[in-house]
């Protein structure tokens, strides 16, 4: 599907600054925009990111300094961009798929699909895959080779899996992100038009949930291993070869580098960035970015050395309080003595 920029401008009722004849092949957020795609500018801080991207056009509220990038000016960029994303990746979850394998699905003959699984329209499943009982693969999902989907896994529409991905029972990929805006006292869901992209050699534990991106992907990098009951929020970009232990919760739009380790029950605030080889200790709550090559502990998390010292003192707090009280009494006594000495001296 392609649109001319002039058509896009019409669809979103915008003012075009740029070449009306340019052909647009897709709509994606700045981090993911490919050549010949249109993207979204909703934050001045992202101007450079967009210039560096391959995007040929942008939806924006005000004209910005974006050399070589056409601009479609609109009053509500998010609602306009959501329209374009929906044009290029149309909503399909209301196409309730029929039982068994849809006629338009392409299943490699070496793949095995259990008869109780549901494979919806337009799905592609590669060689050697095994799809266990009760699995639901919604429309337009693409699955590489040698993947295993254990019982009861759900892939929402447009989910992409690389090769040799293993997903354990009950995991859910692609549910809507938890994003709302308040309007007249009610929470209205914001657009949740993206998808989940899992790269090759990833393993995902039982009942783990990974939400779709807002406009583009929530991505799990190659070789990353995810334990049971992990929650990964919308738009997260998880790096390669991470180890994410059970019951970790990662809020929306977080990014991790490569070889990051998150121990059990760790929580990450939204929009956190953890650099390569960051290690986060069990139950820690990460509230700030980390450059990497560090161990973080505690809630709120700080680096290990600092936190170990803090924890060591915490254990001795009752003793410390007693010491302080004792010292206060001592100083009071000395004040008394000093007073007497002073008086004595004056008397002398």
Find out whether 218 and 201 touch, Cβ atoms under 8 Å: no
Q: Which of 15, 54, 291, 323 binds its own copies (CB under 8 A)?
A: 323
Return the residues of window 135-174 that contact its own copies according to CB under 8 A. 136, 138, 150-152, 154, 156, 168-170, 172
Find out whether 240 and 223 touch, Cβ atoms under 8 Å: yes
Neighbour-count burial for 56-93, b at 16+ CB within 10 Å, e otherwise: bbbbbeeebebeebbbbbbeebbebbbbbbebbbeebe
Asked whether position 187 contacts its own copies by CB under 8 A, the answer is yes
Q: Which of 7, 265, 277, 294 binds its own copies (CB under 8 A)?
A: 265
Binding mask 266-285 for its own copies (x = CB under 8 A): -x-x------------xx-x
234 belongs to the catalytic site: yes
Q: What letter does residue 290 receive in the DSSP assignment?
A: B
In whole angstroms, the minimum distance from the beta carbon of 114 to its own copies comes to 5
Asked whether position 264 contacts its own copies by CB under 8 A, the answer is yes
Q: Which two tokens stand for residue 295?
A: 């161990």
4 vs 246, beta carbon nearer its own copies:
246
Stretch of residues binding its own copies (CB under 8 A), selected from 17-25, 40-48, 75-83, 246-254: 246-254
Q: C-alpha distances in angstroms, 292 versus 160, 218, 253, 313?
A: 28, 21, 18, 26
Return the residues of window 102-121 that contact its own copies according to CB under 8 A. 112, 114-116, 118
Return the residues of window 42-81 that contact its own copies according to CB under 8 A. none
Return the residues of window 211-240 that contact its own copies according to CB under 8 A. 211, 223, 225, 227-229, 231, 233
The residues, any chain, with a CB within 8 Å of residue 218's CB and separated by 6 or more, are: 194, 195, 196, 197, 210, 211, 212, 232, 233, 234, 235, 236, 237
Asked whether position 98 contacts its own copies by CB under 8 A, the answer is yes
# of chain residues touching its own copies (CB under 8 A): 92
The residues, any chain, with a CB within 8 Å of residue 49's CB and separated by 6 or more, are: 30, 31
Largest pairwise CA distance in the chain: 111
In whole angstroms, the minimum distance from the beta carbon of 29 to its own copies comes to 21
Rounded Cα–Cα distance for residues 95 and 140 (Å): 11
Q: Which two tokens stand for residue 98?
A: 């029929």
Rounded Cα–Cα distance for residues 30 and 68 (Å): 15
In whole angstroms, the minimum distance from the beta carbon of 228 to its own copies comes to 4
| Relative orientation angle of helices 304-315 and 317-347, to the nearest 10 degrees | 70
In whole angstroms, the minimum distance from the beta carbon of 322 to its own copies comes to 10
8 vs 261, beta carbon nearer its own copies:
261
Asked whether position 304 contacts its own copies by CB under 8 A, the answer is no
81 vs 156, beta carbon nearer its own copies:
156
In whole angstroms, the minimum distance from the beta carbon of 213 to its own copies comes to 15
Q: What positions carry a catalytic annotation?
A: 234
């Amino acid at each position: 599907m392609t649109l001319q920029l002039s058509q896009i401008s019409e669809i979103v009722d915008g003012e075009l600054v740029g070449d009306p004849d340019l052909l647009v092949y897709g709509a994606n957020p700045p981090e993911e925009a490919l050549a010949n795609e249109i993207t979204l500018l909703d934050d001045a801080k992202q101007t450079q990111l967009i210039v560096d991207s391959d995007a040929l056009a942008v939806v924006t509220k005000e004209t910005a300094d974006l050399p070589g990038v056409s601009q479609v000016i609109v009053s509500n960029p998010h609602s306009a961009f959501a329209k374009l994303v929906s044009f290029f990746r149309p909503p399909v979850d209301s196409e309730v798929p029929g039982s068994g394998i849809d006629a338009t699905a392409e299943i490699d003959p070496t793949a095995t699909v259990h008869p109780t699984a549901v494979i919806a329209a337009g799905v592609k499943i590669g060689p050697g895959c095994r799809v266990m009982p009760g699995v639901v693969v919604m429309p337009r999902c693409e699955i590489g080779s040698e993947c295993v989907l254990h019982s009861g896994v759900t892939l929402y529409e447009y989910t992409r899996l690389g090769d040799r991905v293993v997903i354990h029972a009950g995991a859910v990929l692609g549910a809507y992100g938890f994003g709302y805006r308040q309007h007249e006292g009610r929470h209205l869901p914001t657009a949740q038009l993206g998808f989940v992209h899992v790269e090759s050699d990833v393993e995902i534990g039982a009942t783990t949930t990974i939400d779709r991106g807002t406009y583009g992907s929530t991505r799990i990098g190659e070789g990353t291993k995810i334990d049971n009951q992990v929650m990964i929020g919308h738009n997260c970009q998880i790096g390669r070869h991470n180890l994410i232990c059970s019951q970790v919760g990662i809020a929306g739009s977080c990014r991790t580098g490569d070889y990051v380790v998150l121990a059990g029950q760790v929580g990450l605030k939204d929009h956190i960035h953890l650099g390569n080889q960051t290690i986060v200790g069990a139950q820690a709550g990460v509230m700030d970015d980390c450059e990497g090559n560090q161990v973080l502990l505690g809630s709120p998390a700080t680096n290990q050395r600092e936190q170990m010292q803090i924890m060591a003192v915490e254990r001795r707090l009752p003793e410390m309080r007693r010491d302080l009280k004792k010292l206060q009494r001592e100083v009071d006594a000395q004040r008394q003595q000093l007073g007497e000495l002073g008086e004595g001296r004056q008397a002398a």
